Amino acid sequence: MKGHLNAFGNHGTSIVDSIPGGDLYIRYPNGNLKNLTAAAGFGIESGEIQAGAKAIAVRQPTVHWSGNKILFSMLIGGPKERFDRASERRWQIYEASGLNEDDKVIIKKIPYQSPNYNNLSPIYGATDDIIFVSDAPLYDMKHTYPQLDEYESTPSNTGIWKINLETKKLSMIEHAPSGAYDLSLDSFGRVIFTKWDHLKRDQQADADRYEKGSYRAFDFPDETSSAVRTKFPELDENGKYLADKRGVLYELFPEARSIKDPTKDPNESINNFNQFFIWQVNEDGSNEETINHAGRHEFGGSYMPPVFLDDPNLSEFLPREGVNKKMRDTIAGNAGIFQLKEDQDNPGTYLGTYALEFGREAAGRIVEFNLPPGKNPEDVIMTDYTNATLDYFPERASERLPTMTGHYRNPVRLADRSILVAHTNEYRLNEDDSTDPGTTRPRFIFRLKKMIPNPFDTDMIAGNPLTEGIVKHVRWWTDAETPKEYVGLLNETDAVEVRPRPRPSSTPLMATDPIEKAVLTEEGVDEVELQNWLKEKKLALIVSRNVTMRDKADVSQPFNLRIPGGAENIPAQGKVYDISKLQIFQGELTRSYEKQDGRRVYSRPVRNNEHHPDIEKFYSDKGKVELGLDGSMAAFVPAGRALSWQLVDPNGKPVVRERVWVSFAPGEIRTCASCHGINSTTHNKLPEPKNKPEALRNLIRNWKSLK
């Protein structure tokens, strides 16, 4: 197996991405191993060519609440001859039962999933719905497939999907423009996952413009299947830059990522955002946010310069909240936490792998933190069980410093309280990797081990392997005249402990905050009627109570904010920013490239489209909504699609921008009390606002007149 262990873009099915030959194994307490897939009739024997309908690769098992069955993804098929691309195969979800040592193993394919797309990382919902990651296209827009990520425009998955086995309905519950990874369902019913947050302008288009690139980006005017490639004029109706000389649109949001961009505001820093955050979402797609709203201020992360260069109140040095001493500032912008799993016997405590995005196969250090629902992220403490030396000195990997104890991944806290990991002692640098499908040796060989105290240091290291090693002779076709082959150990990864676990006592679903609920009541609106209308229109309702209030840790963007004639929060002397509207952007799949199939997300102000044909009637110009004099905001927004936004001044100039994409569920009425959630206090030591938002009242009155 090659690409499926990567941090991102790991759903490929080509022989470069995934060589067939793997199997799903179970190890019993007596040490015996059983090949579950082989016992059910899947897989090719050692030494035979991995071709045809029995060749398989497997990944990401999840145990049912009962402990009696397992979900996993399996890829069936392989090249049958030289030059065969085996392009028709897809990762699909299967369920295995008969897990006891003497049981007959039965493996069946889960119904109602799309056979035409890759379905990965399956988990059981609280009521046994199947939740998983897929690269199926947004809104079933097949002509946009595959979605391309915001980094190098590489095919990505599109987010999180769900199969309701009762209604036999397949639906998307979260849209991720650059991919979601490593799903789990915690004991509180939250879907926990890693998301690649990469909200920035198109670096491939910038490479074409400023670096003699050859990506040849181009744009469609909209997402419809009938839309044709369009060369846009260089200037818009107001004489401002609209497109480059090739007719390729400049992005409007967020800030420019290149100093050469003619649309760059000379008073703004460039933006080149990159981060793997831990996120949560309810099973119905509501309440998507970073886990407990923890982000860069608590965990570290991407470098963020002050947005405006002429404001000394703004700083690149983000205040660090909480008591997270050991891991403070070590989660870099080119890294993140992967394979997060809750400790089954300690609800709210999570184990994960801190890994760099490249060259590590999503392996690195083993970390743990505690964030049950309601816990203030400022109080998070992250424990690092392993030594971090490798991350600080990757160029010295060949020296094998004494503190370098290998790469770790897939941590599981077992019932005996030990930590199981997949571990390798090897240190191979990026240049050792190869995308040649004929490469016969994996970069790393991971073995299952328990972690033990390091006798020479204060950290933990991997103990002895739990198996004697699974050896196989794997042969496969490439474009070479004869099959390639590998004889040796297979990777032992994606381990789970097979034991029963309690179902979440309740599944968190969308809920309206009591303050906003009171406004609806006062305006004579039946909440259920409103939500049904939202669902029918595929919309959500988002609300803020006072967007002039910012969390005390926010210092890279303006926090001296004022609504002319209304609310203001000015905690520091110096420049004050007037704001009057919120501009909402939707991630449209309208950017493409001549050299590859698929579409990349392009940020556009909310506008009418075939999925929301009349949404503009609830907006002023270009996706803007008026702020209330009390500082509040309310808007109907497209549901099931990634959105972002910015506060603008009375002239439409951006002041404060959102840094990530967020999606909402149809029918959701979601409150974020301030534009950036307040963990404890604002800069001027104010708590979360509790006012009844006037903007919501105005929107509801307008809705009643227009619906």
Tell me if 266 is assigned to some domain.
Answer: no
Same domain, 453 and 562: no
State both tokens at 108. Answer: 């069946």
State both tokens at 427. Answer: 């240190």
What pLDDT score does 149 carry? Answer: 96
The two beta strands, 447-453 and 419-424, are antiparallel
What pLDDT score does 300 carry? Answer: 77
Cis peptide before 146 (omega within 30 of 0): yes
Which helix (H) or strand (E) is 208 found in, with range?
Answer: helix 203-210
Confidence class for position 329, pLDDT limits 50, 70, 90: low
The type of residue at 314 is: L
Instruction: Check whether 112 has a pLDDT greater than 60.
Output: yes
What pLDDT score does 324 carry? Answer: 55
Same domain, 404 and 533: no
Rounded-to-integer distance, Cα 472 and Cα 450, Å: 24
Percent of the chain exceeding pLDDT 70 equals 94
CA angle 298, 328, 496 (to 5 degrees): 80
Same domain, 20 and 149: yes
Percent of the chain exceeding pLDDT 90 equals 78
Which helix (H) or strand (E) is 585 found in, with range?
Answer: strand 581-593
The two beta strands, 91-97 and 25-27, are unpaired
State both tokens at 227. Answer: 């839309």
**Which residue, 455, 489, 523, sits at the end of a domain?**
489
Half-sphere exposure of 382 (CA within 13 A, CB side): 27
Same domain, 362 and 436: yes
Confidence class for position 387, pLDDT limits 50, 70, 90: confident
Contact between 303 and 314 (Cβ < 8 Å):
no
Mean pLDDT confidence for 414-426: 94
Same domain, 527 and 483: no
Instruction: Check whether 399 has a pLDDT greater than 70.
Output: no
Same domain, 606 and 673: yes
Tell me if 401 is assigned to some domain.
Answer: yes
Helices 514-522 and 694-706: crossing angle, nearest 10°? 50
Tell me the per-residue pLDDT of 12-44, one tens digit each, with 9 for 90 and over. 998 888 899 999 999 999 999 999 999 999 999
State both tokens at 143. Answer: 């002509």
Instruction: Check whether 177 has a pLDDT greater than 60.
Output: yes
What pLDDT score does 438 carry? Answer: 56
CA angle 413, 414, 419 (to 5 degrees): 50
Contact between 34 and 101 (Cβ < 8 Å):
yes
Instruction: Check whether 368 has a pLDDT greater than 90.
Output: yes
> Distances in Å between the alpha carbon of 672 and those of 66, 299, 324, 707?
37, 21, 25, 25
Half-sphere exposure of 38 (CA within 13 A, CB side): 11
Tell me the per-residue pLDDT of 527-569, one tens digit each, with 9 for 90 and over. 999 999 999 999 999 999 999 999 998 899 999 999 999 999 9
Q: Where are the beta strands (DSSP E) in 508-576?
A: 539-544, 561-562, 568-569
Rounded-to-integer distance, Cα 200 and Cα 198, Å: 6
The type of residue at 254 is: P
Instruction: Check whether 360 has a pLDDT greater than 90.
Output: no
**How high does pLDDT run on average in the chain?**
92
Instruction: Check whether 662 has a pLDDT greater than 90.
Output: yes
Residues in Cβ contact with 611 at an 8 Å cutoff, skipping those fewer than 6 apart? 139, 538, 638, 641
pTM for the whole thing?
0.95
Same domain, 588 and 639: yes
Confidence class for position 458, pLDDT limits 50, 70, 90: confident
Q: For residue 538, is it left (φ>0), alpha (ψ between -120 and 50) or beta?
A: left
State the CB neighbour count (10 A cutoff) for residue 241.
14
Mean pLDDT confidence for 681-707: 93
Instruction: Check whether 422 has a pLDDT greater than 80.
Output: yes
Mean pLDDT confidence for 446-470: 93
State the CB neighbour count (10 A cutoff) for residue 218.
20
What pLDDT score does 699 carry? Answer: 97
Confidence class for position 72, pLDDT limits 50, 70, 90: very high
Same domain, 526 and 477: no
Confidence class for position 392, pLDDT limits 50, 70, 90: very low
Instruction: Check whether 181 has a pLDDT greater than 80.
Output: yes
Tell me if 407 is assigned to some domain.
Answer: yes
Same domain, 471 and 537: no
Tell me the per-residue pLDDT of 142-167, one tens digit each, with 9 for 90 and over. 999 999 999 999 999 999 999 998 99
Tell me the per-residue pLDDT of 591-602, one tens digit each, with 9 for 90 and over. 999 989 999 999
Tell me the per-residue pLDDT of 189-209, one tens digit each, with 9 for 90 and over. 999 999 999 899 999 999 999
> Distances in Å between the alpha carbon of 542 and those of 373, 663, 666, 682?
21, 11, 11, 21
Which of the residue ranges 396-400, 477-481, 495-499 would you say has the lowest mean pLDDT?
396-400
**Which residue, 452, 474, 489, sits at the end of a domain?**
489
Sign for the CA dihedral angle at 319, 324, 330, 334 comes to: negative
| Start-to-end C-alpha separation, the chain | 54
> Distances in Å between the alpha carbon of 705 and those of 25, 44, 430, 530?
62, 66, 61, 13
- Sheet strand arrangement including 669-671: 633-638, 539-544, 669-671
What pLDDT score does 648 carry? Answer: 98
Residues in Cβ contact with 212 at an 8 Å cutoff, skipping those fewer than 6 apart? none
What pLDDT score does 661 carry? Answer: 97
What pLDDT score does 1 carry? Answer: 40
Rounded-to-integer distance, Cα 235 and Cα 466, Å: 65
Tell me if 226 is assigned to some domain.
Answer: no
Q: Which of 575, 572, 582, 584 is nearest to 612 (CA)?
A: 584
Same domain, 476 and 561: no
Confidence class for position 505, pLDDT limits 50, 70, 90: confident
Total structural domains in the chain? 2
Q: What is the CATH number of the domain that holds 104?
A: 2.120.10.30
Mean pLDDT confidence for 118-145: 97
The type of residue at 340 is: L
Tell me the per-residue pLDDT of 460-479, one tens digit each, with 9 for 90 and over. 999 999 999 999 999 999 99
Tell me the per-residue pLDDT of 242-270, one tens digit each, with 9 for 90 and over. 999 999 999 999 999 999 999 999 999 99
Confidence class for position 439, pLDDT limits 50, 70, 90: low
Same domain, 296 and 164: yes
Following DSSP, what letter does each residue of 270-298 receive, concatenated?
-----EEEEEEE-TTS-S-EEGGG--HHH
Tell me if 15 is assigned to some domain.
Answer: yes
What pLDDT score does 302 carry? Answer: 78
Instruction: Check whether 390 has a pLDDT greater than 80.
Output: no
What pLDDT score does 64 carry? Answer: 98
Same domain, 555 and 473: no
**Which residue, 454, 489, 524, sits at the end of a domain?**
489
Tell me if 222 is assigned to some domain.
Answer: no
Tell me if 209 is assigned to some domain.
Answer: no
Query: Which residues span the domain enclosing 158?
Result: 3-201+272-489
What pLDDT score does 380 carry? Answer: 85
Sign for the CA dihedral angle at 318, 324, 325, 329 comes to: negative
> Distances in Å between the alpha carbon of 664 and those of 176, 292, 334, 527, 590?
12, 17, 27, 17, 21
Tell me if 295 is assigned to some domain.
Answer: yes
Confidence class for position 432, pLDDT limits 50, 70, 90: very low
Contact between 590 and 221 (Cβ < 8 Å):
yes
Q: Which residue has the higher pLDDT, 339 or 328?
A: 339
Tell me the per-residue pLDDT of 601-649, one tens digit each, with 9 for 90 and over. 999 999 999 999 999 999 988 999 999 999 999 999 999 999 999 999 9
Mean pLDDT confidence for 107-116: 96
CA angle 114, 493, 171 (to 5 degrees): 20
Instruction: Check whether 6 has a pLDDT greater than 50.
Output: yes
Sign for the CA dihedral angle at 207, 212, 217, 221 comes to: positive
Confidence class for position 695, pLDDT limits 50, 70, 90: very high
What pLDDT score does 504 carry? Answer: 93
